[in-house]
Structure 1
Amino acid sequence: MDFLLLCVAFVCGLTVKSLGLPPLVGYLLAGFALHFLGVQPSAGLDTLADLGITLMLFTIGLKLKVGDLLKREVWTSTLGELGFWCVVCVGFLLTLASIGLPYFADVSLNTAALLAFAFGFSSTVCIVKLLEDSGEMRTRHGRLAIGVLVMQDIVAVLFLVFATGKIPSVWAIALLALPLLRPMLNRLLDAAGHGELLPLTGFFLALGGYELFSLVGVKGDLGALIAGMLLSRSSKAAELSKALLGFKDLFLIGFFLSIGFTALPTLGMVGIALGLTLLLPIKFLLFYGLLLAMRLRGRTAWLSALALANYSEFGLIVADLAVDLDWLSGEWLVILALTVTFSFIVTSLLYARAHSLYSHNKTWLTRFERRERLPEDVLTQPKDAQILVVGMGRVGMGAYRALHQLMGRGVWGMDADSSRIHRLQGEGLAAFVGDGEDADLWEHLDLSSVQLILLALPTIDDSRHVTNQLKRANFKGQLAAIARYEDERQLLIDAGIDKVFNFYTEAGTGFAEESLAMIGQRPEAAGQ
């Protein structure tokens, strides 16, 4: 039976991907299809789902800075959206109850408030998956969306404490001393090395954080997040996150499948779920308006709000609690599961086209920007740049340093990760914060002196998108990019990139040339 689950999930995921949609949409559909066919999930499915969420929160913590949570735009948009949303949603639900719509007849003011509160949250699983797939976790809008999600998780923990009446143990106060363990945890991570012990260490710390918080009566998921945050400054945090990536993605398939096994829906339930999904534009507008009011750029507000405009799996937890307390009928669990599923699909479809939608509607979306911007939203102009390296990861950084030795200050680096750029600027290097897919950025930059742009980006889709932006900005210089596989190389050339380097081939060639130099031979002489 476990093979059948994997088989259907694979077929649905592959089919959906071939249509240009994120595979998670296929996993959601696979769960409902399996349930409709009468397949019973194994007991291990929920365990895999829980493990996937725990690892996901742990890896979020690895990339999260405490300062991001304290920014006014994060907590103001979180609390503001919840407040305004609850007012709007309660009014909508009570209106449906007053006309006697099926499943709404017994909805009271308290029940409507509970449902509105549950719908006010955004899905951590869906948003993180989309941001990771698009390589935007460390961008300005990505960090903003993650900050809002973490703030929502904190609100959720407080709600569950008051709703269930389960007060944390007095020993929970001792959790405040966890930052003192950071040096020991960093040494533990360094001792794990780079092999199979590294991901095992990640599992140990993620599950250890979960169990520790659960032991003192606090939501375990928060413990996994905190455990990751304690390691976020470690030099191996990025390596650990990559080591856990495959495990996390595989286990999260169990989460998406499990939603479909909640219960079999009726046509009436599907209709109500679709109706509730139609409220998502209101949620988007609330986030978008609040973020603009916080003096963010229109593009940042657009991308953040678009990612956050969905319903959360937390709604299922609230609905389950309400059913246990006889506040809601059991059918609402199915309605909530369908609504969450539909919202995932809507977000996946729209966010896949988020950048092109912004480019086509830029005039309207920037009309409501505030004149005064937050410091992080002010675009920088590199001075006297002849070569620009986009993407300052390991490959980009290696290229930058090599070029910098030859050309000095004529070489500039650009990356969407502000913390990385600030570190490089601290070393005295010419670098600035910028998102390559930002149409506003390339229109703002004076590229007249730039002769060459190197795209050292994580995916070929990123490189293709940046190439399209540069074409629109009438860039006249040369473009170079890296590819990890031969089939990707041709796709980048077709996109208009002048020179594409195969990552593995070029690394081997460079290794050979440097080795020959050690014994006093030049590469051309060795070939004669």
Structure 2
Amino acid sequence: MEFIWILFAFLCGLSAKLINLPPSIGYLLAGFILHFIGYDADDSLQTLADLGITLMLFTIGLKLNIKDLLKNEVWAGALGHTLIWIVTLVALIKLVAVIGVTQLTNLSIETTLLIAFALSFSSTVCIVKLLEEQGEMRSRHGKLSIGILVMQDVIAVIFLVAATGKIPSPWALSLLVFIPLKPLIKKIINQVGHGELIPLTGFFIAMGSYELFELLKIKGDLGALLAGMYLASHAKASEINKALMNFKDLFLIGFFLLIGFTALPTWEMLSIAAMLCLLLPFKFALFYLLLSALKIKARTAFLSSLALSNFSEFGLIVASLSVEYQWLSKEWLVILALSVSLSFILTNIIYRYSEQLFISKKLIFTRFERKKRLAEDTFVQPCNAPIVVVGMGRVGMGAYSALSKQVGSQVWGLDAERSKIDWLKSQGAQVFHGDGEDRDFWENINLVEIQLILIAVPKVQDAINITQQLKRVNFTGQIAAIARFDDERIELEAIGIDKVFNFYTEAGVGFAEESMAMIDTHQFTAEQTA
């Protein structure tokens, strides 16, 4: 990558962060500025963007459960939205064309269908980055959004096969051999250890699956996603994901820059792109009504719909393909690039105020909520258990074990990952499935019974989100949390957490105390006195 790209990406990303916007908005701006002053994107930037998307889909797969995609709210929500959106938008475009907008009046029905289809998808890159920055990837609405995005990716693959005539190779059936080979592959990954081979293993599997699927004439990105899902149950899945996180974020900068290099717009193109963005509220409303009809709670449906209310980079792929086959004029490639960019910016800005927006209009949105809830959204609070450990990872499980030895059944654990809860229950732990970042969850349990909540989640943003929800429901007990760095400790204390433990400092203190207990310390006291 040329240094000038890095310079502009850094300056614009930092500027966005300083005004409390996600750096990705700055990267988008950097791409448009570089294009405006005369720079062109080369193959290396495209390679970086492809790497970023491939790693992102692979890491998404590492956190997905195939069963989640079979839920009605996921597949029916995605498919229902796509069909209704296309029919409605085609009718709307034809209606607006009567006004005399140049770019719309000459569109054939086939071209109109392509544009509507391109705009039906939501951006995987934008939403995943947004959820990560907000610490909501593991939340109920985060998982629902990701599930819908994956189903949209499946629809995208079907379209690409149909549009290009690129029929998968007969050898694609050989991929089934990986099912019986899974135990062997897991054993091989177990030998990787915990060092530099961990990220290399992630790269190898992600890129290897991409190339294998391309060789079999299947979309390579889908291969990376399925490879991640294939390994999601492995003990090292979380470790591989963490090792790839920074690489993925770095390479995705290339993707955001690349959007700005698509083309230079005219004022007419910009106005049409802005007009298309006026459709985003309709996209939100359609998602919300569908999810509500599928018995999703009001807050979950609201946050998922708001996150999904943008246009996808896949729209650019559809547009590029359509231009190549002369189904669409080159001007529409620019218009769609602008509308995608504008939707990214709008989503990132509006979503930051999602909680405030929902609270202010809660009475309106809850009118559409179904009385009968899904099993996943119901929770039975354990009686007479005043201590809660939120987040049953390594730190949370350690805290739970220590407390259960002292107070027995007076402590219970909470985690948003159902598979982890099922496993811990099989081990005899008193743990329950629930989303600590969901205000509805805390509103539906008896907080008077709870005296102490230990927040043992790995990301500081997750701890902030949970604490904010507890404050909103007027929790009066004590809250403790963990932090890795002093600035995180200060930030957590500032929002009202009663006790913040520095992860590394407390580990050192505990290590010293446990070690000193192994020897007679009286001799050291006597020597100091002498």
Instruction: Answer whether TM exceeds 0.5 for this pair.
Output: yes
Size of the alignment, in residue pairs? 528
- Cα 1:247–1:116 change in 2 (3 A) is same
Whichever residue aligns with residue 270 of structure 2, its letter is V
Task: Report the equivalent of 1:76.
Answer: 76
Contact 1:392/1:415 (<8 A) preserved: yes
Q: Percent same amino acid at aligned positions?
A: 59
Q: How far apart in 2 are the matches of 1:259 and 1:432? A: 43
Contact 2:139/2:438 (<8 A) preserved: no
Q: CA RMSD in A?
A: 1.8
Q: How far apart in 2 are the matches of 1:305 and 1:233? A: 28
CA deviation after TM superposition for structure 1 residue 434, in Å:
2.2
Q: Provide the secondary structure at the position in 1 that maps to 2:31.
A: helix
Q: How far apart in 1 are the matches of 2:524 and 2:342? A: 61
Note the residue ranges of structure 1 that are not aligned, 5 or more in a row. none
Note the residue ranges of structure 2 that are not aligned, 5 or more in a row. none
Q: How far apart in 2 are the matches of 1:466 and 1:230? A: 31
| Comparing 462-471 and 420-429, the one that deviates more | 462-471
- 1:332-362 deviations in whole A, cap 9, x for unaligned? 1111111111111111112222233223332
Q: Provide the secondary structure at the position in 1 that maps to 2:480.
A: strand
Q: How far apart in 2 are the matches of 1:300 and 1:525? A: 59
Whichever residue aligns with residue 500 of structure 1, its letter is V
Task: Report the equivalent of 2:22.
Answer: 22
CA deviation after TM superposition for structure 1 residue 278, in Å:
0.8
Task: Report the equivalent of 1:206.
Answer: 206
Whichever residue aligns with residue 322 of structure 2, its letter is A
Q: How far apart in 2 are the matches of 1:70 and 1:499? A: 41
- Cα 1:91–1:24 change in 2 (3 A) is same
Q: Provide the secondary structure at the position in 1 that maps to 2:243.
A: helix
- Residues 1:269 and 2:269 are matched in the alignment: yes
- 1:354-392 deviations in whole A, cap 9, x for unaligned? 233223332222221111111001133232112111122
Task: Report the equivalent of 2:320.
Answer: 320
Task: Report the equivalent of 2:225.
Answer: 225
CA deviation after TM superposition for structure 1 residue 520, in Å:
4.3
Task: Report the equivalent of 1:431.
Answer: 431
Whichever residue aligns with residue 101 of structure 2, its letter is L
- 1:482-522 deviations in whole A, cap 9, x for unaligned? 12111222222221121111111001101111111122449
The TM-score, its normalising length taken from structure 2, stands at 0.96
CA deviation after TM superposition for structure 1 residue 193, in Å:
1.1
Contact 1:359/1:439 (<8 A) preserved: no
User: 1:237-256 counterparts in 2 under 5 A?
Assistant: 237-256=237-256
Q: Provide the secondary structure at the position in 2 that maps to 1:233.
A: coil
Contact 2:135/2:461 (<8 A) preserved: no
Q: How far apart in 1 are the matches of 2:266 and 2:522? A: 74
- Residues 1:460 and 2:432 are matched in the alignment: no
- Cα 1:429–1:10 change in 2 (3 A) is same
Q: How far apart in 1 are the matches of 2:525 and 2:24? A: 53
Q: Provide the secondary structure at the position in 2 that maps to 1:435.
A: coil
Q: How far apart in 1 are the matches of 2:516 and 2:249? A: 42
Q: How far apart in 1 are the matches of 2:408 and 2:206? A: 44
CA deviation after TM superposition for structure 1 residue 524, in Å:
11
The TM-score, its normalising length taken from structure 1, stands at 0.96
User: 1:42-121 counterparts in 2 under 5 A?
Assistant: 42-121=42-121
Task: Report the equivalent of 1:381.
Answer: 381
Q: Provide the secondary structure at the position in 2 that maps to 1:497.
A: coil
Contact 1:2/1:42 (<8 A) preserved: no
- Cα 1:523–1:41 change in 2 (3 A) is farther
- Residues 1:415 and 2:415 are matched in the alignment: yes
Q: Provide the secondary structure at the position in 2 that maps to 1:518.
A: coil
- 1:313-344 deviations in whole A, cap 9, x for unaligned? 11111111111222211011111111111111
